[in-house]
Structure 1
Amino acid sequence: MPADPGARPLDRQDPLPLWAQLQRDLSRRLTAGDFATAFPGELDIARGYDVSRHTVREALRRLREAGVLDSARGRPTQVRAAIEQPLGSLYSLFREVENRGMTQTSEILDQSLTTDAEAAAALGLPERARLFHLERVRLADGVPLAHDRVWLPASLAAPLVKADFTRGALYDELAERCGVRVTGGRERISATVPAPAERALLAVPRGVACLTVERSGYADTRLVERRVTVVRGDRWSVVADWTARGWSVGAVAGPG
């Protein structure tokens, strides 16, 4: 039996390697908030689970690669700070990541003028209307967080074809280059099982679902943005706060 009362026993008869079983149980405990005050050191984990430090190191390495933990030489391992998304207000993933001392970058998959019948319909435009399309993988400190696709009418957003979105924020570029400011919108959030291609794109661990966020953005009363964002479910969740005066809904990233 493990010495740590919060740990689940590892099965040495299971074909799944001990490090993978350990990684799975540490992920479970992280999700449950077991390490809210501090994350244990390698030696404490090894004693708590009755495994070698080599097993612990491999499990922690995988957790770091998944963006769950943060560590560097000379300082203890830490659970990555949460990234909060308040719903009911204009939200920028770029600013939220940067405000938490993390580096926001994007891998650009497509940045072009195109046509898309479904996106055009969502924007209330003719089927063959020209659209600006931006597709990117959003990363926080180099770890995939979200797969983001956005469409805007080319009549408004064509200059964005020349913008640099590897670090830039869409709304900033839209305002500066096109004179268009998104002032409000509507979002719909739903749970989803990622397709294999999506799972590979976001490096989603086995058994982890995602959340799909569909946004309609408005410039005053004009619908100007159609966005579909798939977010890793182990790094982002919806939360609600309440008081005697009422309640509000927001969202918060999981560790990473």
Structure 2
Amino acid sequence: MVTSVQTEDEVPAPGIWSAVIDRSDPLPLWAQVHADLRRRLNEGQFTSDFPGEMALVEAYDVSRHTVREALRRLRDEGVVIAGRGRRPRIATGTRRITQPLGALYSLFASVESEGLEQRSVVRAIDIRTDPEAAAKLSLDPATELFYLERVRLADNEPLAFDRVWLPATLAAPLLEVDFTHTAVYRELERRCGVRLGGGEEIIHAVLPTVEERELLGISTEVPGFAIERRAQGPAGPAEYRRTLVRADRFAVAVQFSTGGGYKLSLSGV
């Protein structure tokens, strides 16, 4: 059981209190911290800000590991958003982005259709050779490709790690684009006169690497959707894309009928 005492002199930071953990209680320490935080959240505390890890360590006089376990439980309940290197905050209506299955969609458009702000952090944009990506586009291994690498954000929260390759002969003008707030398909049509058509896409569940987890701000318990896409242009394959999306913020939707049904292509089974 947690006993809390709060005075003006004892508050170590705004919204933080002094609390005593009952170490004779058989309930684990993290569970006591979790229960007390859950109670305070239910009572409407932390309306302006949620305390950081070290402030909670000081308030409850427990280890950082204990605090992280309590925060992990709150995050899994959808109550708090917490990631490595980021201050925890209350989840205020975080929404899951839903994409249609079997459509050449734009993640940019889908995020904004949900009423969320879309933004990207561009990590790389250049012309390079990539034999593997060229093979996916049915091109010679030495073919120059336009390459764009971004972390996609929805309402300033990481949503996806996105990499795209296009033939440089089609997409070289995109080097001049600021991709922090626009879509590849939009700029490809506007600047290059190229509109992509259908294609193929493979989606499977993965456990993100350490680097990918840090980029997306997720813990080891959150899986991802790995999406591999090859889209067609006017004269053949024109886009190869790999996207890693947080599974806790992304869903795939499909429409079906009793007559036509729908097809699923199972790969690697």
Superposed displacement of residue 206, structure 1: 2.8
SS at match of 1:247: coil
- For residues 44 and 247 of structure 1, the distance between their equivalents in structure 2, rounded to whole angstroms, comes to 47
- How much identity, in percent, do the aligned residues show? 40
Conserved 8 A contact 1:209-1:233: yes
Match of residue 100, structure 2, among 86, 108, 128: 86
Distance 1:141 1:121, change over 3 A: same
Aligned to 2:221: 207
Q: Does 1:133 align with 2:147?
A: yes
Superposed displacement of residue 234, structure 1: 1.2
> Once the two structures are superposed, what CA deviation does each residue of 1:225-256 show, in whole Å capped at 9, x if it has no partner?
00000011111233445443343589xxxxxx
SS at match of 2:181: coil
Distance 1:167 1:44, change over 3 A: closer
Opposite residue 205 of structure 1, the aligned amino acid is: S
Match of residue 95, structure 1, among 85, 94, 109: 109
Conserved 8 A contact 2:151-2:160: yes
Q: Does 1:187 align with 2:201?
A: yes
Aligned to 1:145: 159
Aligned to 2:55: none
Aligned to 2:52: none
Q: Does 1:64 align with 2:81?
A: yes
Count matched residues.
209
User: How high is the TM-score relative to the length of structure 2?
Assistant: 0.68
- Pairing 1:104-253 to 2, within 5 Å after superposition: 104-220=118-234, 222-248=236-262
User: How high is the TM-score relative to the length of structure 1?
Assistant: 0.71
Structure 2 unaligned blocks of 5 or more: 1-24, 46-59, 61-66, 265-269
- For residues 157 and 228 of structure 1, the distance between their equivalents in structure 2, rounded to whole angstroms, comes to 17
Conserved 8 A contact 1:213-1:229: yes
Superposed displacement of residue 99, structure 1: 1.3
Superposed displacement of residue 164, structure 1: 1.0
SS at match of 1:234: helix
Between 1 and 2, higher relative CO (CA 8 Å, sep ≥ 6) is seen in: 1
Opposite residue 43 of structure 1, the aligned amino acid is: E
SS at match of 1:167: coil
> Once the two structures are superposed, what CA deviation does each residue of 1:137-186 show, in whole Å capped at 9, x if it has no partner?
00000000000000000011011111110001100100111111111111
> Once the two structures are superposed, what CA deviation does each residue of 1:181-232 show, in whole Å capped at 9, x if it has no partner?
1111110001111110011111112311111000001114510000000011
Opposite residue 81 of structure 1, the aligned amino acid is: R
> Once the two structures are superposed, what CA deviation does each residue of 1:76-107 show, in whole Å capped at 9, x if it has no partner?
xx3x3332211222201111111111100000
Conserved 8 A contact 1:144-1:202: yes
- For residues 180 and 239 of structure 1, the distance between their equivalents in structure 2, rounded to whole angstroms, comes to 27
- For residues 262 and 44 of structure 2, the distance between their equivalents in structure 1, rounded to whole angstroms, comes to 39
Work out which of the two has the higher radius of gyration on C-alpha atoms and give 1 or 2.
Answer: 2
- For residues 182 and 26 of structure 2, the distance between their equivalents in structure 1, rounded to whole angstroms, comes to 49
Distance 1:22 1:142, change over 3 A: farther
Q: Could you tell which deviates more after superposition, 119-128 or 11-20?
A: 11-20
